[in-house]
Amino acid sequence: MKSIKTLFVVAALSVSSLAMAEGGADRTFARMEQARQASLEAYQLAKQQKDEAPVAGSQAKQTEHANC
């Protein structure tokens, strides 16, 4: 009888530890996905700002040449 109780305790602890480990991975994956999205948005914003600056400068030069 004692061995059956011991077996049930060991089985219950094993199953609960596996369930907690899986939930932790889901949270970690969700945080990684959020960080990836934030970094992608920041990269795209920086790229847009970088691309817009030279275009504005070149248009100003074109209008100066057109007035001459």
Average pLDDT over residues 11-33: 76
CA distance 9 to 7: 5
Compute the mean pLDDT over every residue in the chain, rounded to the nearest whole number: 76
Q: Provide mean pLDDT across the span 46-64.
A: 64
pTM comes to 0.43
Spatial separation of the C-alpha atoms in residues 6 and 12, rounded to whole Å:
10
